[in-house]
Amino acid sequence: MEQEMERFGGTSEEEGEEDEEEMGMEVKDEEQQQQERRSQRNHLSTRMISINEGINNTGINNNNNLLNRFQYVSPQQQQQQDEQNQSSSGGGGRRCRPREEKERTKLRERHRRAITARILAGLRRHGNYNLRVRADINDVIAALAREAGWVVLPDGTTFPSRSQGTRPVALATSSNALVTTSPSPSSPQLIPTIVQSPNASFRGGGGGGGISPGIQNSSDYNPYRLKTMFVPCSTPIDGSSNVIRSTSVAAMVGDRGERIQDSNSPLIDNCIDSIIDDKQIMDIPSKMPERDFAGTPYVPVYVMLPLGVINMKCELVDPDGLLKQLRILKAVNVDGVMVDCWWGIVEAHTPQEYNWSGYKQLFQIVRELKLKLQVVMSFHECGGNVGDDVCIPLPQWVAEIGRTNPDIFFTDREGRRNPECLSWGIDKERVLRGRTAVEVYFDYMRSFRVEFDEFFEDGVISEIEVGLGPCGELRYPSYSVKNGWRYPGIGEFQCYDQYLLKSLKKAAEARGHSFWARGPDNAGSYNSQPHDTGFFCDGGDYDSYYGRFFLNWYSQVLVDHADRVLSLAKLAFEGTCIATKLSGIHWWYKTASHAAELTAGFYNPCNRDGYAAIASMLKKHGAALNFTCVELRTLDQQEDFPEALADPEGLVWQVISIDLIY
């Protein structure tokens, strides 16, 4: 019986100690802890102890509590025992606060879960992380590890990938295009790279140039998991980078990896000087569809040819020198070149008389070298803008019409005309020798398609970029340097020619407010700042009933113009990828009104998405988007012009988000 009671007592004692440690319901004083330690040492030294020794070591009250575990105790007896325990412990020797501790634990747990839920919601919404509904910290860590280039197995095993040295370190991307930079193992400088996912329609571009699709050789790579997409990374390259017309990049290396330099070559001056090991050159893979880079780390490279490669007589300038430069580009596996076909050169003197002779010679050279072509239908004037080193005006016969009818050009509030391109108000007006502006554009594109049919059939011409405004960009000429604009001025509205005013009047009457048929009179001038104007300041007229009506009409004219021209371009170039260039107006992006975007035709204040309608229209025509500020960084803009409140990266992410939706 004594042995049985001893077994019960010892077991109950151990269970009581475990319960006290796990639940944390009682706090023992120092003397009691010392007694328990002595009891444990005695218990280890000899397994045979008596009930009296157990009572002396642990205390009568404790022993009674332990024994009560194995017998029925009525509520009255339990209350008496609790009172005795409380009195024997001196009143304050023990503290029992289970209820307070539980409440605090619950509050801490609720607070922790709320923070976790907000973190997961932000990662899903803004970071595009593919996290399950009941994700925990392990899922988040695994997603971040995969983004950093690590391999995480389902059982949690984590190890670095084979090409850990080529991990992406910068990102400026879209749903369909990711712009990354790969660090060189021996140089702190970065090589800009654009990686594109399947069915991509978003691409960086600037000044008519851009990294464009094509087919070329690849090197060993490691697929990094960025967000929900596998993004391949390029092989490490040691060198420095320059951008050709903002985005076109070429790596200039010799057969054995030595650097090639030619101070007399305008094409090579703007290319990347690189040193590539022989082991990095691999065989050319099979052909892939344009703008589809799934499963390949290779980034197609197109080099922008000089603006004046064809002179005003439509003759090829220095064909021997150009051939030499193109051979060098071919030697380093450049995919092709990009060239402007200027309306002012081809249809210079007489309507519907086209001279393509110089372009024929150029295209023939490109085809013989087995390079590809991206051609820009340039319906704008060249000269006077950043990066323009030649002057190519609009056709002479158009200028003659403009002298008698200057309203064919965009006009500001002061009546100053802008001859860079034709006003969108004449898209349906027969003021160009019996033709509308849209008909003139279509006749030009159709003539090009017929003239170079063999190049389309052979796949030499891979893409057509359609010019839709000044500098070939889809925007109003709101910040013209010729009219005195300087960065970071907000620019001016360009809707004061008679044709656009007629359209505005018609829209106001349809709205039932004929007195709204006017432009805003408090929008400042070209170099004003938003807070200095009554229209663009915080809470200004841009958000009034009239302001919303005017800006909606102003931006809709832009979308309608692009819709009409791209419809005809798709008809003329059926079966060929078409693209358009969108200007990135990033200054004053951190203000409420986004004034510079509003004057350029992008109705994109902080409370409205101004690029959704453009993206929807481009999707309808299957047109790719070349965006002009992908390569810019917000930090650089803040250092150079902090007063501009610019945010190019924020603008890029907004356009990328629209591309995801549409």
Q: Which residue has the higher pLDDT, 640 or 492?
A: 492
Beta carbons of 623 and 576 less than 8 angstroms apart: no
**pLDDT (average), residues 492-517:** 96
- List the structure tokens of 636: 């650089």
Spatial CA neighbour of 662 closest among 174, 82, 235, 145: 174
Give the pLDDT score at 77. Answer: 59
- State the DSSP string of 577-599: EEEEEE----TTTTSSS-HHHHH
Average pLDDT of span 464-469: 96
Give CA angle at 526 (587, 559), nearest 5°.
Answer: 65
Q: 649 to each of 44, 402, 529, 636, 656, how far by Cα in Å? A: 70, 40, 21, 11, 10
Q: What is the pLDDT of residues 172-212, one digit of tens each?
A: 333 333 333 333 333 333 333 333 333 333 444 443 333 33
Residue 257 zone, left/alpha/beta (φ > 0; ψ -120 to 50; rest): left
CB-CB neighbours of 552 under 10 Å: 14
The more confident residue out of 133 and 645 is 645
pLDDT of residue 111: 80
pLDDT above 70 covers a percentage of the chain that reads 63
Confidence class for position 41, pLDDT limits 50, 70, 90: low
pLDDT score at 387: 63
Instruction: Inform me whether the pLDDT recorded for 240 exceeds 90.
Output: no
* pLDDT per residue as tens digits for the range 168-177: 333 333 333 3
**Residue with the larger pLDDT of the pair 220 and 304:** 304
Tracing tokens 């007195």 back to the chain, one arrives at 515
Residue 145 confidence (pLDDT): 81
Mean pLDDT computed over 490-506? 97
Residue 385's pLDDT band, with cuts at 50, 70 and 90, is: low
Domains in the chain, start-ordered, CATH in brackets?
303-660 (3.20.20.80)
Residue 427's pLDDT is what?
A: 96
Question: Tens digits of per-residue pLDDT, 353-375?
Answer: 999 999 999 999 999 999 999 99
Q: What confidence tier does 17 reach under pLDDT thresholds 50, 70, 90? A: very low
- Residue 75 pLDDT level (bands cut at 50, 70, 90): low
Q: Which residues contact 52 (CB under 8 A, 6 or more apart)?
A: none
Top-ranked range on mean pLDDT: pick from 35-49, 141-155, 309-323: 309-323
- Cα–Cα distance, 509 to 488 (Å, whole number): 35
Helix (H, G, I), strand (E, B) or coil at 396: helix
Lowest mean pLDDT among 12-26, 150-164, 534-548: 12-26
What are the phi and psi torsion angles at 309 (to 5°)? -65, -25
pLDDT at residue 35, rounded to an integer: 60
Q: What is the mean pLDDT of the chain?
A: 74
Q: How far is the C-alpha of 325 from the C-alpha of 328, rounded, in Å?
A: 5
Per the CB < 8 A criterion, the answer to whether 242 and 307 are in contact is: no
Q: What pLDDT is stored for residue 477 in this prediction?
A: 96
Query: What is the pLDDT averaged over residues 52-58?
Result: 46
Q: What is the pLDDT of residue 297?
A: 66
What is the structure's pLDDT at 651? 95
Q: What pLDDT was estimated at residue 223?
A: 33
Provide mean pLDDT across the span 428-440: 96
User: CA–CA separation, 201 vs 626, rounded Å?
Assistant: 8
Residue predicted with more confidence, 290 or 169: 290
Q: Give the pLDDT mean for 426-441.
A: 96
CA proximity to 473, closest of 373, 348, 386, 574:
386
What is the pLDDT, as a whole number, of residue 60?
Answer: 44
384: pLDDT confidence band, cut at 50, 70 and 90?
low
pLDDT in tens, 253-266: 333 333 344 444 44
pLDDT for 190 equals: 31
